Amino acid sequence: MKKYLETILHVLIWGISYVLILNFINTISDFRKDEGPFWLAILFGMFMNQILFYTTAFYIVPKFLRLKKIALLVISLIGVFVFINLLESIIDYYWLVGFFSSESESFVTYLSYNSISSFFILLLGLSYALIKYWFQNEKLKRTLYEEKLTTEMTFLKTQINPHFLFNVLNSFYAKALKNDVPDLADGISKLADLMRYMVYEINEDSIALEKEIHHLKKFIQVYQLRIAEDDDVFINFTVKGTVENVQISPMLLIPFVENAIKHGIDPKTKSVINITLEVIENSLVYKVTNTVHKNAYDLKDTSSGFGLDNLKKRLTILYPNLHTIETKEEDGYFVSLLKLQIE
């Protein structure tokens, strides 16, 4: 019921407004002809006002405000205001005027009347959008603050364990070198670096995209240590565009690959994971595809703490209206696609 409350309120307000306007005009006998269906003209004017209001409040203002493109916002508002007024005035003057007006007035007169009412509706829509935008931002800030407190408390409770694990890994690394097993030592080193990144740097608000890519590659390399040489498993990673000087929230890229590994690897059949990251102007496009196996054998960890569902919630908080995320199956592949607007 709560999610429909806004819609119900809008329907009630527009309905009551129409009845009041209809009753008001009905009492002004000089304004209309008794034989004309003047209610149709009023309904049309209400409909045009609704187009102006909802275009302003739910499309123009949210779109350009979140992009911080104020000039385009103003131009768009002026454009839709002029278009709606001209269209309404033309239809009023050349068709609907005969339904309610007993006087022969000029086109400019109707344009002036419509402009006054439309300007009021435009201000109403603008105010509605700004107030709603402010409330949404405040809600997101509170949510982020609460999640940050929860993360900090969790980290404080568990920070002894990472130190212990790092010390153990350092011991294993030293033993691997001592026993002349360089591949094992290299794998332990990569795993330690990856854990250090996931434990300490994940708490930062943003991180260099280059660094996130670097640790994603390490994540892939660590996983590949689990793959036998004769397994038909291929993981391809391609980076396009200029990734320097780009900042993103940490741990946005790894969950996609982790999901692909969990659900797309079968060591007994050919398994392919293709990862593409591209920076185009102020947009980041990240695509991960993996083969679909109906009966996948386990090289995966079912207890993973990350997942696309959690990531979607996190993106909604961190990048409200600045991202799109899609998951679908096509041609034997599962496709995960993230489009993110960046500074």
* Exposure string for 57-79, b = 16+ CB within 10 A, e = fewer: beebbbebebeeeeeebeebbee
How far from the centroid of its chain's Cα atoms is residue 149's Cα?
24
Mean pLDDT of 227-249: 85
Whole-angstrom Cα distance, residue 37 to residue 33? Answer: 9
Cβ 188 vs Cβ 169: under 8 Å: yes
Q: Encoding tokens for residue 55?
A: 């275009």
pLDDT at 298 over 60: no
For residues 123 and 158, which has the higher predicted lDDT (pLDDT)?
A: 123
Q: In angstroms, rounded to a whole number, what is the distance separating the alpha carbons of residues 227 and 79?
A: 59
List for the chain the helix, strand, coil content (%; round to 5).
65, 15, 20
pLDDT, average across residues 303-321: 67
DSSP symbols for 51-96: HHHHHIIIIIHHHHHHTT-HHHHHHHHHHHHHHHHHHHHHHIIIII
> At 251, is the secondary structure helix, strand, or coil?
coil
The answer to whether 292 and 266 have CB atoms below 8 angstroms apart is: no
Task: Compute the C-alpha angle 326/58/114, nearest 5°.
Answer: 150
Tell me what pLDDT residue 123 has: 92
Which residue, chain included where needed, has tokens 């590949």?
224
Do the Cβ atoms of 66 and 83 come closer than 8 Å? no
Give the Cα separation of 120 and 9 in Å (integer): 19
Asked whether the beta carbons of 58 and 128 are under 8 A apart, the reply is no
Report the alpha-carbon distance of residue 27 to residue 187 in Å, rounded.
Answer: 86
Instruction: Return mean pLDDT, the chain.
Output: 79
Radius of gyration of the chain (CA): 30
In this predicted model, what pLDDT tens digit does every residue of 50-109 receive, in sequence order?
999 999 999 999 888 877 788 888 999 999 999 998 998 888 777 776 555 555 677 888
Q: Average pLDDT, stretch 176-195?
A: 79
Token representation of residue 164: 């212990």
Position of tokens 């396009």? 240
Tell me: pLDDT of 118 over 60: yes
Give pLDDT, residue 144: 75
State what percent of residues in the chain have pLDDT above 90.
Answer: 17
Position with higher pLDDT, 108 vs 273: 273
pLDDT over 60 at 34, yes or no: no
Q: Is the per-residue pLDDT at 116 higher than 80?
A: yes
For β-strands 333-341 and 233-240, DSSP reports them as: unpaired
CA distance 18 to 274: 57
Distances in Å between the Cα of 161 and the Cα atoms of 105, 140, 156, 174 are 83, 31, 10, 20
Q: What is the pLDDT of residue 64?
A: 86
Q: What is the mean pLDDT of residues 239-254?
A: 88
Among all chains, which residue has been given the structure tokens 């404080």?
156
Mean pLDDT, to the nearest integer, of 260-276?
85
Inform me whether the pLDDT recorded for 252 exceeds 60. yes
Residue-wise pLDDT for 194-222, tens only, equals 777 777 766 677 889 998 998 898 888 88
